[in-house]
Amino acid sequence: MGRVVSEQRVALQFDTQLNQGLVRSAAARESGLDYDEFEARLQRLFTLVPFLQERMLRMQPKLLAALAAEPEQLAQRLVELKTLLPQADVAAIVAQRPSLLLDGEWERVPAGVAALAACYSEEEAGRLASAEPLLLVEDLEHVLQELGRLLPGQPPLQLLRQQPSLASKQGYGQPGPGGFAPPPGGGFGAPGGFGAPGGFGGQPGGGFGQPGGFGQAPFAGGPQQQPPPYHGGRDKQDDRMGGKSKHDPVLVVSRWIKARSPKEKLYLGIAGGVIALLLLWFVVEDHDTLFILSESVHFLGIGVLAWKLIKKRAAGGLSLRTQELTAAFLLVRLFCSFMMEYDIHTLLDAMTLAATGWVIFSLRGPLKESYQADLDVTNPLLVAAPCLLMAIIAHPSTRHFILFRILWAFCVYLEAVSVLPQLRMMQKAKVVEKFTAHYVFALGLSRFISCAHWILQILDGDKYLWQALGSGLWPIMVLVSEIVQTFILADFCFYYVKSYAEGTGVIHLPAGIVMLAAAQPQAATAPACRRPLSRAGRASRIAAQHRDGSAAEAAADAPVPAPQGRRQLLSAAAGAALLAASALQAPDAQAVIKGYEPMPMLEGKDYGKSRMTFSDYVQSPSGLQYYDIREGTGATPQQGQTCVVDWAGVTIGYYGRPFEARNKPKGSAFTGDDKDFFRFKLGDSSVIPAFNEAVAGMKVGGIRRIIVPVELGYPDNDFNKAGPKPSTFSGQRALGFVLGNKGMIDKTLLYDIELKKVT
């Protein structure tokens, strides 16, 4: 006997289908496309972002039309959002606020993530964003200030942690007409909510792009009224990095530079440096004043931090270790100034030390709760110890007491590497808050000015400098070290200028860039890894982007007679400590990989197909493509034997995102303990067919790169049914996003496999 379906359920299903049809029809008209073409785009949207389909009935047609315009771009932004907030429920965020993926709001997301990361742990930031996506697009500082005003005596951070919905209520907890309020005004998913009368984007306030809807005041239906101070985006008077026009010349130049090839960017950087040096050469008559200018810029950078702590009352993103190292070398240098040479530099050092002391006091005292100690993990003793050792070995040859000369050299070496903890902290955070960015940019500018002094001395034909350069390796190393220190922060300064041009308010760094600057890792030694990218195939060029740059190797010679003047002496000794600290970072340098840095999308007629061919690979009858990065010298495994391999995986067909780098391969130079390796029996069905076929033709010690089509990959596109499985949650999400898509995203994968041993 069949199941009886009530008339009410039939009527409800009919009403639902009718409403869906009406919403789709209205959205198609808003898009300007014919109905069939719009339906095709809408189906792609729901395939890529399936959880939006349930929200469709509560969307305004204009919003639905905007979302369906570029489904593939929305899918990419979903992945980027998960990269920014690995602990967040992305589906919940987008289901509550789908407009977050559109251009108008998306450009504000990195700033929102950075603000949350500055105040909360990664897990808490993800939970808050999942519960209240508004926090990703509104000024968190204003939200907290308003909470503090409305609820004096209550810690705003704790209030928001306990009740994230306070951020979306008009007046932050004082609901009223036109705001995110409970019924009758409505909220997300409630009567009068998104797309319904009185709710977000609903009538009578209008929908997305309509008067009174999203992007207008107020943020919801109901009577029009002036929004709270924090609504309507960032306060441009307080944020000099906000609201840039698309026609801004700096933004146009930034985008043009971004589109250049790496070689072109290198040439442009060199040309820009030369032009800046020439300008300094013509403008500055006494080049020794550049040292005063360098110290002044450093003082301004520290002053920015002190201002942030006074005004913002938040210490997120700042490294206490860097500030302690800065205070240490300033204190030593101030002591040496009184004992050896008292001049204008002494006053600048005293002012900078006072500002640094205020920053340290704030981080250890009133703002201790907002200091991110879990990210500031560099041991300052490991940075300072080699500086002291180097100072004992190489110090100025003046007539002063030996202890003063050693201390003088120590403060110079320590100054050169004091920024390393801050760089490591930024690497872990991946995004940099704007005031911290100002500070680090000031350090980079200060190093450039100091380096410019030496180069201008060469252009002027300084007799002492030429005499020093002829006295051994050390003077050359001084000049090289100055240049290296400048280039350590050059990449960051580029992203700083780019962020200023785009108006994001934060620096969103490609993963690995900070670590490369801080550690200067050695390049991979495999000959195949050093092939010119212009001669490599498309797949090789994409995989090559996971490699880090070469390191600069150098050794210090005996000290030479001291330069004439205190600041020349200080600059002459600066490079040695950088080299010593780089040696301390060597173990980490071997573990560098560029995380989730987006790679160029594959182009051409083969993009999106389940099989792509690459001319520089050998293709087997099954369709597996491979080439050997390194030929092995050991035994070849036989069927049934246990193979021990190290591996890395990349979703080559979808923006080249790594989903496994368990032992941090760097250009296929693998490292790791035996316990971390992947083991399987050759020929067993517990691994994907591509692994069996690839390893069967290898020898122990070899490294093979393979391109895996979908039919040789994971059964039913499920990595839980066969190995190798990504070892991290973020890796599983990255791979699962690609494999779980219903045919709209290419599922071709790239693996690097090193055969360790056969048993």
Q: Side chain identity at 253, as an amino acid letter? A: V
528 pLDDT exceeds 70? Answer: no
> How confident is the model over 97-122, as pLDDT tens digits?
888 788 778 888 888 888 887 778 88
> How confident is the model over 635-658, as pLDDT tens digits?
899 998 999 998 888 877 555 567
User: Distance (Å, rounded) from C-alpha 445 to C-alpha 425?
Assistant: 20
What pLDDT is recorded for position 217?
Answer: 33
What pLDDT is recorded for position 460?
Answer: 64
Q: Which carries the bigger pLDDT value, residue 416 or residue 21?
A: 416
Q: Which carries the bigger pLDDT value, residue 647 or residue 272?
A: 647
What pLDDT is recorded for position 687?
Answer: 92
Q: Average pLDDT for residues 316-320, to the nearest whole number?
A: 82
143 pLDDT exceeds 70? Answer: yes
What pLDDT is recorded for position 294?
Answer: 78
551 pLDDT exceeds 80? Answer: no
Contact 295, 317 (CB under 8 A): no
Q: Average pLDDT for residues 384-401, to the nearest whole number?
A: 80
318 pLDDT exceeds 80? Answer: yes
What pLDDT is recorded for position 275?
Answer: 81
- The separation between CA 741 and the C-alpha centre of its own chain, rounded to angstroms, equals 26
User: Distance (Å, rounded) from C-alpha 342 to C-alpha 35?
Assistant: 80
> How confident is the model over 698-754, as pLDDT tens digits?
999 899 988 888 888 888 888 888 889 888 776 787 788 778 765 546 678 888 898
β-strand partners of 666: 669
Least Cα distance to 25 among 44, 16, 38, 8 occurs for: 38
User: Distance (Å, rounded) from C-alpha 128 to C-alpha 455?
Assistant: 51
249 pLDDT exceeds 50? Answer: yes
Q: Average pLDDT for residues 16-37, to the nearest whole number?
A: 67
What pLDDT is recorded for position 244?
Answer: 42
pLDDT band at 173 (very low <50, low <70, confident <90, very high): very low
68 pLDDT exceeds 80? Answer: no
Q: Average pLDDT for residues 612-633, to the nearest whole number?
A: 82
33 pLDDT exceeds 70? Answer: yes
User: Distance (Å, rounded) from C-alpha 514 to C-alpha 424?
Assistant: 7
Domains of the chain: which residue ranges?
10-139, 247-283, 289-512+548-589, 618-758
What pLDDT is recorded for position 177?
Answer: 34
Q: Which carries the bigger pLDDT value, residue 608 or residue 270?
A: 270
> Domain 618-758 belongs to what topology?
Chitinase A; domain 3 (3.10.50)
Q: N- to C-terminal Cα distance for the chain?
A: 61
Classify the phi-psi angles of 387: left when phi > 0, otherwise alpha if psi is within -120 to 50, otherwise beta.
alpha
What pLDDT is recorded for position 565?
Answer: 42
Contact 703, 629 (CB under 8 A): yes
> How confident is the model over 69-101, as pLDDT tens digits?
777 777 778 777 887 888 888 888 877 888 878
β-strand partners of 645: 678, 755
pLDDT band at 328 (very low <50, low <70, confident <90, very high): very high
User: Distance (Å, rounded) from C-alpha 88 to C-alpha 126?
Assistant: 4
Structural tokens at position 215: 């992007």
Q: Which carries the bigger pLDDT value, residue 636 or residue 508?
A: 636
**273-279 long-range contacts, CB within 8 A, separation 24+:** 273/448, 276/448, 276/452, 277/452, 277/455, 277/456, 277/459
3-state secondary structure of 648: strand
Q: What is the 3-state secondary structure (H, E, C) of 738-759?
A: HHCCCCCCCCCEEEEEEEEEEC
The per-residue DSSP string of 368-436 comes to GGGS-TTT----HHHHHHHHHHHHHHS---SSS-HHHHHHHHHHHHHHHHTTHHHHHHHHHHSEEEHHH
The CB density around residue 241, as the number of other CB atoms within 10 Å, is 21
Tokens 């519960």, located at residue = 131
**What percent of the chain lies above the pLDDT cut of 70?**
55
3-state secondary structure of 750: strand
3-state secondary structure of 214: coil
Give the phi and the psi of residue 407 in degrees, each rounded to 5. Answer: -65, -40
Task: List the helix and strand counts (H, then E) for the chain.
Answer: 29, 9
